[in-house]
């Protein structure tokens, strides 16, 4: 999703289009240690796209804050099947480029093995390091960002106010970062804990209208903590590049189908809350402090412990919370033909486990976390 002209405001004709951005690790295929090859891999990927596979619908591979990670993206999609296809193509393309550079790609939200990352030398990233000092050392994390079309900025702010209670369950089902710097953190999503240290992250307050949203953004930038408005890193925000809501709460998922499930649920949430706004229903005024507690539970346990139920704010089994989420957005899922995918996808996650569960199973209690990385590489781009 790199070119503004591909996105125009949704006119209410047919389903909202949606797209995904994924951050991926570049790793040594033998020992699992991340390798600082993003410059080489992005150049090879661009050459492949221009010369070898110009007919494939793959967006450019982008460099990120650290040289051991890259970002891929899909174009705006209408159906979940299209999104699934494009995400597989994008992962396959960057994996081919990485292999040519002597590396592999892994959909892991933190690096399991111990290593020291190399900062991208671009001026913006140097400025971020100068501003935030040691916080940057722990920012090698990989997320999944979902963009969903909006009809207007007013609709977008209304959606942000109304989807707040449902963001923690999305974090729980995408949790994929239990290991960090060679240790099991005890969390399903350690990425979320690392991000929570940043002052402009996490759940946001209720806005009420576009003017308040913009005033809040201007005040944050005026504080000179943020470099600019693009550093508003809340779990959900209005994109500054596209006419979309951008939901940023999720870890990158090992399996493509889990990432598509996350995106399908986000699109359905956006549609559901837009309908709620048009019907005149007020958002849940749940305090942001409670939302932070819900996010902590999701980060700590994933789907293997009690979550805060978004309708009662009491602890409840993860399965009951996912059932409530799917039920909440079922009319929107049915309208796009995604209800069966959502039901099957959440049932699979509860049975098979999240990425965090898969990593711990691959570890098996031994001392070699390279096995965790190798297993993730196989799942990221299956043969």
pLDDT tops 90 at residue 202? yes
In the prediction, which pLDDT does 53 show? 63
CB atoms under 10 Å from CB of 2, counted, come to: 12
> Tens digits of per-residue pLDDT, 351-366?
999 999 999 999 977 6
Least confident of 48-52, 106-110, 157-161, 217-221: 48-52
In the prediction, which pLDDT does 4 show? 37
> Tens digits of per-residue pLDDT, 128-168?
999 999 889 888 999 999 999 999 999 999 999 999 999 99
Percent of the chain surpassing pLDDT 90: 88
In the prediction, which pLDDT does 56 show? 63
In the prediction, which pLDDT does 173 show? 98
pLDDT tops 60 at residue 14? yes
Q: Is 148 helix (H, G, I), strand (E, B) or coil?
A: strand
In the prediction, which pLDDT does 55 show? 57
CA–CA distance from 173 to each of 9, 258, 318, 319, 346 (Å)? 29, 8, 9, 10, 8
> Tens digits of per-residue pLDDT, 241-286?
899 999 999 999 999 999 999 999 999 999 999 999 999 999 999 9
User: Smallest Cα–Cα separation from 197: which of 135, 143, 119, 248?
Assistant: 135
User: Smallest Cα–Cα separation from 1: which of 95, 86, 121, 122?
Assistant: 86
In the prediction, which pLDDT does 368 show? 80
In the prediction, which pLDDT does 139 show? 81
Cβ-contact 144, 137 below 8 angstroms? no
Which residues touch 367 (CB under 8 Å, ≥6 apart)?
none
pLDDT tops 70 at residue 7? no
Pairing status of strand 183-184 against strand 244-251: unpaired
Please give the Cα distance from 165 to 346 (Å, whole number).
18
CA–CA distance from 381 to each of 98, 100, 334, 344 (Å)? 12, 15, 29, 21
Cβ-contact 93, 17 below 8 angstroms? no
In the prediction, which pLDDT does 9 show? 62
> In the predicted model, what is the mean pLDDT of the chain?
93
Helical residues (DSSP H) of 183-287, grouped into ranges: 190-195, 210-222, 256-278
User: Smallest Cα–Cα separation from 266: which of 345, 207, 212?
Assistant: 345
pLDDT tops 70 at residue 57? no
Q: In which band, very low, low, confident or very high, does the pLDDT at 6 lie, cut at 50, 70 and 90?
A: very low
What average pLDDT score do residues 56-63 get? Answer: 78
Cβ-contact 273, 158 below 8 angstroms? yes
pLDDT tops 90 at residue 26? yes
Q: Pick left, alpha or beta for residue 318 (phi over 0 → left; psi -120 to 50 → alpha; otherwise beta).
A: alpha
What residue ranges define each of the domains in the chain, with the CATH number in brackets?
4-380 (3.30.590.20)
Q: In which band, very low, low, confident or very high, does the pLDDT at 12 lie, cut at 50, 70 and 90?
A: low
What average pLDDT score do residues 77-104 get? Answer: 96
DSSP letters spanning 175-205: --B-EETTEE-S-SBHHHHHHTTSTTEE---
Please give the Cα distance from 292 to 297 (Å, whole number).
9
Cβ-contact 128, 247 below 8 angstroms? no
pLDDT tops 90 at residue 2? no
Q: In which band, very low, low, confident or very high, does the pLDDT at 8 lie, cut at 50, 70 and 90?
A: low
Give the chain's length: 383
Please give the Cα distance from 25 to 41 (Å, whole number).
11
Please give the Cα distance from 323 to 173 (Å, whole number).
12
Please give the Cα distance from 279 to 277 (Å, whole number).
5
In the prediction, which pLDDT does 178 show? 98
Which residues touch 332 (CB under 8 Å, ≥6 apart)?
267, 268, 269, 271, 272, 275
Place of tokens 């939901």: 247
> Tens digits of per-residue pLDDT, 280-338?
999 999 999 999 999 999 999 999 999 999 999 999 999 999 999 999 999 999 999 99
In the prediction, which pLDDT does 1 show? 39
């Amino acid at each position: 999703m790199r070119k503004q002209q591909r996105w125009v405001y949704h006119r209410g004709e047919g389903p909202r289009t949606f797209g995904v951005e994924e951050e991926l690790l570049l790793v040594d295929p033998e020992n699992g240690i991340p390798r600082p090859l993003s410059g080489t891999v992005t150049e090879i990927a661009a050459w492949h796209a221009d010369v070898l596979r110009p007919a494939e619908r793959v967006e450019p591979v982008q460099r990120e804050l650290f040289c051991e990670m890259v970002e891929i993206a899909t174009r705006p999609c209408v159906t979940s099947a299209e999104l699934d296809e494009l995400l597989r193509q994008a992962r396959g393309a960057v994996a081919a480029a990485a292999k040519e550079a002597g590396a592999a790609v892994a959909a892991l939200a933190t690096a399991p093995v111990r290593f020291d990352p190399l900062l991208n030398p671009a001026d913006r990233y140097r400025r971020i390091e100068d501003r935030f000092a040691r916080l940057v050392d722990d920012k090698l994390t990989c997320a999944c960002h979902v963009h969903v079309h909006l009809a207007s900025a007013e609709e977008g702010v209304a959606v942000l106010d109304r989807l707040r209670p449902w963001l923690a369950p999305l974090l729980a089902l995408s949790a994929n970062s239990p290991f960090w710097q060679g240790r099991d953190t005890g969390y399903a999503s350690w990425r979320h804990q690392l991000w929570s240290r940043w002052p402009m992250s996490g759940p946001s307050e209720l806005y009420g209208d576009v003017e308040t949203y913009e005033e809040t953004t201007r005040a944050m930038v005026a504080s000179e903590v943020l470099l600019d408005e693009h550093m508003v890193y809340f779990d959900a925000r209005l994109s500054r590049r596209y006419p979309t809501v951008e939901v940023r709460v999720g870890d990158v998922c090992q399996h493509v189908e889990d990432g598509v499930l996350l995106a399908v649920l986000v699109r359905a949430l956006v549609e559901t809350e837009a309908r709620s706004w048009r019907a005149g229903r007020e958002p849940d005024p749940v305090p942001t402090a409670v939302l932070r507690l819900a996010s902590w539970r999701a980060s700590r346990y994933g789907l293997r412990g009690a979550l805060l139920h978004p309708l009662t704010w009491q602890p409840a089994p993860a399965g009951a919370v996912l059932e409530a989420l799917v039920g909440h957005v079922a009319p929107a899922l049915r309208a796009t033909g995604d209800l069966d995918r959502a039901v099957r996808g959440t049932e699979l996650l509860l049975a098979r486990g999240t990425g965090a569960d898969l990593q711990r199973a691959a570890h098996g209690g031994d001392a070699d976390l390279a096995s965790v990385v190798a297993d993730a590489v196989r799942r990221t781009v299956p043969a």
